[in-house]
């Protein structure tokens, strides 16, 4: 593996200006480097700015401080080399599954025949080819997220951003999709930046786990998982890592509590 950084974040911060003139510091001073084919997980308490950080990397959210550099180029707007999967339901409900998956190639002006072939191949990758002509409302939550993932892949991105993509799924489906995601990642060698608030999920998936503080989100710790895949949840290191990360999060929450009274309260 080369020492090539595909993604470089330097002093990245975000301050939201609300309508009534207040400003909300969502993300503060984030430095992060991601190498090609890395699987990096970001964990942190909810509301700490994880989605905001990911949206800045995707180019959807204007950056207030610092910069995000992708392959030497500063990110200012979305680009097709960077794909994203959202937690919320993001499929177009009036389109069939295959037309949803073919959306990226369609925007790129690829012919109908070719983009359908491509979409079908990706649907096959997650065992969803039988549902190509179904509409999203006919699918279960797990199937919808499978479609959302291959829709991002059908655009052939180098970097895949995932914002709690399995957050709304039941535990069994979530574990199933984690496995599938690893299989796809190993097969297609994408670089993945994956946001979750689940410590278990992060340890199961990541090469490297970045722990964020409560809002404004900063990186407080980076942990290398260093376990072979497929990982056994019963492995002693698994439990050890979970304890370590939970301790960091707990300490952070306690500090925040004494500072602000309540981490859920808006301190501004």
Ligand X SMILES: Nc1ncnc2c1ncn2[C@@H]1O[C@H](COP(=O)(O)OP(=O)(O)O)[C@@H](O)[C@H]1O
Q: Which residues are at the interface with ligand X (CB under 6 A)?
A: 16, 18, 24, 26, 44, 46-52, 215
Task: Return d(Cα 129, Cα 131) in angstroms, integer.
Answer: 5
Min dist CB 50 to ligand X, Å, is 3
Task: Return d(Cα 64, Cα 14) in angstroms, integer.
Answer: 5
Min dist CB 59 to ligand X, Å, is 15
Min dist CB 265 to ligand X, Å, is 10
- At a CB cut-off of 8 Å and minimum separation 6, what does 15 contact? 23, 24, 25, 26, 64, 65
Residue number of the CB atom closest to Mg ion: 51
Among 12, 39, 43, 51, interactor with Mg ion by CB under 5 A? 51
Q: Scan residues 121-160 and list those touching another protein (CB under 8 A).
A: 135-138, 148, 151-152, 155
Task: Return d(Cα 127, Cα 182) in angstroms, integer.
Answer: 15
The window from 30-38, 44-52, 76-84, 99-107 that contacts Mg ion (CB under 5 A) reads 44-52
Among 12, 84, 181, 202, interactor with another protein by CB under 8 A? 84
* Residue 107 in contact with another protein, rule: CB under 8 A: yes
Task: Return d(Cα 125, Cα 178) in angstroms, integer.
Answer: 14
Min dist CB 81 to ligand X, Å, is 23
| Residue 58 binding result from ligand X, another protein, Mg ion, none, given CB thresholds of 5 to 8 Å by partner type | another protein
Task: Return d(Cα 154, Cα 97) in angstroms, integer.
Answer: 13
- Residue nearer to Mg ion on the CB measure, 162 or 225: 162
What stretch of H or E contains 10? strand 5-17
- At a CB cut-off of 8 Å and minimum separation 6, what does 105 contact? 114, 115, 118, 119, 154, 155
Cα separation values, 225 from 115, 148, 220, Å: 38, 27, 16
Task: Return d(Cα 195, Cα 84) in angstroms, integer.
Answer: 11
The window from 58-66, 189-197, 208-216, 235-243 that contacts another protein (CB under 8 A) reads 58-66
Min dist CB 207 to another protein, Å, is 23
Sort strands 191-196 and 39-43 into parallel, antiparallel or unpaired.
Answer: parallel
| Residue 151 binding result from ligand X, another protein, Mg ion, none, given CB thresholds of 5 to 8 Å by partner type | another protein
Among 28, 90, 196, 256, interactor with another protein by CB under 8 A? 90
Query: Which residues of this protein are in contact with another protein, per CB under 8 A?
Result: 55, 58-60, 78-80, 82-84, 86, 88-90, 92-94, 103-104, 106-108, 135-138, 148, 151-152, 155
């Amino acid at each position: 593996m080369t020492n090539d950084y595909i993604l470089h974040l330097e002093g990245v911060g975000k301050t939201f200006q609300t309508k009534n003139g207040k400003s909300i510091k969502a993300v503060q001073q984030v430095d992060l480097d991601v190498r090609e084919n890395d699987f990096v997980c970001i964990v942190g308490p909810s509301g700490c700015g994880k989605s905001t950080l990911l949206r800045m990397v995707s180019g959807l959210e204007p950056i207030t401080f610092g910069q995000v550099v992708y392959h030497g180029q500063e990110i200012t707007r979305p680009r097709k080399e960077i794909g994203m999967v959202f937690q919320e339901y993001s499929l177009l409900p009036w389109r069939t599954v295959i037309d949803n998956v073919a959306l990226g190639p369609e925007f790129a002006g690829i012919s109908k025949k070719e983009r359908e072939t491509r979409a079908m191949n990706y649907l096959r990758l997650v065992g969803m080819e039988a549902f190509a002509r179904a509409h999203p409302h006919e699918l279960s939550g797990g199937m919808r997220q499978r479609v959302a993932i291959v829709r991002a892949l059908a655009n052939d991105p180098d970097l895949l951003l995932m914002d709690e993509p399995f957050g709304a799924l039941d535990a069994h489906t979530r574990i199933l999709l984690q496995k599938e995601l690893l299989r796809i990642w190993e097969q297609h060698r994408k670089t993945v930046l994956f946001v979750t608030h689940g410590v278990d999920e992060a340890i199961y998936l990541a090469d490297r786990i970045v722990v964020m503080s409560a809002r404004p989100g900063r990186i407080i710790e980076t942990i290398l998982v260093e376990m072979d895949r497929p990982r056994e949840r019963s492995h002693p290191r698994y439990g050890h890592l979970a304890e370590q990360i939970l301790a960091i999060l707990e300490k952070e929450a306690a500090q925040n509590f004494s500072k602000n009274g309540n981490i859920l309260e808006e301190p501004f």
